[in-house]
Amino acid sequence: MAPTEPLIVVLHGARGDLAKRMVLPALATLQRRGLLPERWALLGTGRTAITSKEFDELLTGAVAEFGDDEAAEGVPELTRHTAYCGDVSEDGNAGELPGELERLRGVLGGDPTLIHYLAVPPSSFAPITRALAKAGLTDGVRVVYEKPYGTSLETFRDLDATVHAAFDEEQVFRIDHFLGKEATQNLHVLRFANELFGGVWNRRHVEQVQIDVPETLDVAQRAEFYDATGAALDMLVTHLFQVAAEVAMEPPRRLDAANLAKAREDVIAHFRPLDPVHDVVLGQFEGYRDIEGVPDDSATDTFVAARLWVDTDRWKDVPFLLRTGKRMGGSAQQVTLVLRTPDELFGSPVGPNRVVVSLAGSGELKVTTTVKKPGAFLELGTGTANLELADVEPGSSLPPYAGLLEDVLVGDRTLFTTPGGLESAWVAFAPLLGADRPTPEPYAIGSWGPESADRLAEPHGWVLGD
């Protein structure tokens, strides 16, 4: 499928952290690979007025900092397609946007397809949607919403009602870039293609599932957004729940996109609402409150660990251990199936036996198993077989944002979240927003979070950071 031509992509929040870190490098990659049409324009917008020249400088700097060599090679051509103007404001005033779009339509000719990408904090999704509708900028367009889509069950429902008042569902792309990662997509390939994995993908063989996304990353450059959001909203109810759904889903009726999305949605409806008292630990790294823009008494969580239960026959009593945090002791994005093992073999303890899928970068599959140590004696040891997905022909995958943007350009909604799945996710998450929300416990920068999170992963403990 080729992207429609002519095309205008309006990037709302174009000066922001997401734009710099992900969206602009992804567009540069698409430009470099020739996946954008000849006649197209990128219109950056935001609250802060900057010139188009300043936007180009920002774009160039962002790709140099966060993109790879391929993205950097796409910059000179990408900057030939850029413009910048003030955004619609939250009071519903469309500002410079309609006039600038009119100008670009004249430059490009024809009847450009318009894509709005809302790379703004979740609190701005509804006001900007209403402003776009008021300005008549919604007919026939596509719109991309970042995560979290809502901040609670109620705000999710309100937002979705606002969105559906402005757009038909087919126009809406709710992004969760963890679904676009190459290795996440491999979760459903290796499981359904190979009985070595598919055969053990159940409670008989799996003792724990760990979905662990520690980050060394700081939040100082996006303190306003982060302090209003926190780790649980930023990562748990969004990326980690979606990955948990990828692991826990029942086999879809067919391995096509619509059925995969349905399988994810169905299993999220079986996520048991979190028990904040027994199954959740929140943390805040020491020094977080000293960051400019963070209040001295901030109770925002920069770490969350949760034990999620999936109430299906396949996963009854198997804990899904979800963990993520900022400024931790390492960075990884790892899904681990901790396999059940016999207590002993030939008189020696056995283990660990694990299937590990790393979602980071190009992705990696690891199988860790008990083996006989080489040598004269029958002694047990542990070995790991690694498969780097980048080593699989043809080797060069698209980074997740580039792949998902390409899906938006061609109108393919299959790797995007659905309102049904999100509603269930918010139901399961809701107790964490209530009176029993734990107080975030302090943890040292460079550590693996508050020690009390360790009890959630008993008896084996967290695989990472041991």
Ligand X SMILES: NC(=O)C1=CN([C@@H]2O[C@H](COP(=O)(O)OP(=O)(O)OC[C@H]3O[C@@H](n4cnc5c(N)ncnc54)[C@H](OP(=O)(O)O)[C@@H]3O)[C@@H](O)[C@H]2O)C=CC1
8 A C-beta contact, residue 129 and residue 171: no
Nearest residue to 16 (alpha-carbon basis) of 50, 284, 268, 416: 50
Q: Identity (one letter) of the amino acid at 421?
A: G
Q: How far is CA 293 from CA 142, 222, 224, 236, 298, in A?
A: 34, 9, 6, 23, 10
Query: 15 Cβ partners below 8 Å, 6+ apart?
Result: 44, 46, 48, 50, 55, 58
Check the CA dihedral 263-269-270-274 and report its sign: positive
The single residue among 156, 167, 197, 225 that binds ligand X, judged by CB under 6 A, is 225
Residue 81 among the catalytic residues: no
74 binds, among ligand X, ligand LXAUTJHC, none (CB under 5 to 8 A by kind): none
217 binds, among ligand LXAUTJHC, ligand X, none (CB under 5 to 8 A by kind): ligand LXAUTJHC
The single residue among 3, 16, 440, 449 that binds ligand X, judged by CB under 6 A, is 16
Is 203 labelled as part of a ligand binding site?
no
Closest chain position to ligand X (CB)? 16
Q: Distance between CA 124 and CA 116 in Å, rounded?
A: 13
The residue (of 3 and 421) whose beta carbon lies closer to ligand LXAUTJHC is 421
Nearest residue to 325 (alpha-carbon basis) of 442, 160, 180: 442
Is 366 labelled as part of a ligand binding site?
no
Q: From the CB of 25, what's the least distance to ligand X, in Å?
A: 12
Position 121 contacts ligand X (CB under 6 A): yes
Q: From the CB of 49, what's the least distance to ligand X, in Å?
A: 8
Judged by CB under 6 A, the chain residues 163 through 182 that form the site for ligand X are: 177
Is 69 labelled as part of a ligand binding site?
no
Is 373 labelled as part of a ligand binding site?
no
Q: Which stretch binds ligand X (CB under 6 A): 222-230, 260-268, 389-397, 407-415?
A: 222-230
Q: Distance between CA 47 and CA 57 in Å, rounded?
A: 18
Q: Distance between CA 320 and CA 354 in Å, rounded?
A: 14
CA–centroid distance for 121 within its chain: 15
Q: From the CB of 184, what's the least distance to ligand X, in Å?
A: 14
The residue (of 234 and 301) whose beta carbon lies closer to ligand LXAUTJHC is 234
215 binds, among ligand X, ligand LXAUTJHC, none (CB under 5 to 8 A by kind): ligand LXAUTJHC
Position 224 contacts ligand X (CB under 6 A): yes
The residue (of 6 and 16) whose beta carbon lies closer to ligand X is 16
Is 53 labelled as part of a ligand binding site?
no
Q: Identity (one letter) of the amino acid at 370?
A: T
414 binds, among ligand X, ligand LXAUTJHC, none (CB under 5 to 8 A by kind): none
Is 181 labelled as part of a ligand binding site?
yes
Q: Distance between CA 84 and CA 337 in Å, rounded?
A: 47
Position 331 contacts ligand X (CB under 6 A): no
The residue (of 242 and 312) whose beta carbon lies closer to ligand LXAUTJHC is 242
261 binds, among ligand LXAUTJHC, ligand X, none (CB under 5 to 8 A by kind): none
Question: Does the N-terminal peptide bond of residue 37 adopt cis geometry, omega within 30 degrees of 0?
Answer: no
Nearest residue to 129 (alpha-carbon basis) of 150, 115, 139, 143: 143
Q: From the CB of 119, what's the least distance to ligand LXAUTJHC, in Å?
A: 11
Q: From the CB of 121, what's the least distance to ligand LXAUTJHC, in Å?
A: 10
DSSP per position, 78-100: HGGGEEEEEPPPTTS--TTHHHH
Is 47 labelled as part of a ligand binding site?
yes
Q: Distance between CA 316 and CA 313 in Å, rounded?
A: 5
8 A C-beta contact, residue 124 and residue 17: no
Position 103 contacts ligand X (CB under 6 A): no
List the catalytic residue out of 205, 239, 270, 460.
239
Dihedral (C-alpha) 196, 181, 311, 461: value to the nearest 10 degrees? Answer: 80
Closest chain position to ligand LXAUTJHC (CB)? 234
Query: 253 Cβ partners below 8 Å, 6+ apart?
Result: 259, 262
Residues at the interface with ligand LXAUTJHC (CB under 6 A) = 215, 217, 234-235
Residue 292 structure tokens: 């400019």
The residue (of 36 and 175) whose beta carbon lies closer to ligand X is 175
Q: Collapsing DSSP states into helix, strand and coil, what is residue 111?
A: coil
The single residue among 94, 104, 119, 464 that binds ligand X, judged by CB under 6 A, is 119
Is 215 labelled as part of a ligand binding site?
yes
Is 87 labelled as part of a ligand binding site?
yes
Tokens 């962002």 correspond to 62
Residues annotated in a binding site for substrate: 177, 181, 215, 234, 326
Catalytic center residues: 239
Interface ranges with ligand X (CB under 6 A): 13, 15-18, 21-22, 46-48, 90, 119-124, 146-147, 177, 222, 224-225, 234
Residues annotated in a binding site: 47, 87-88, 147, 177, 181, 215, 234, 326
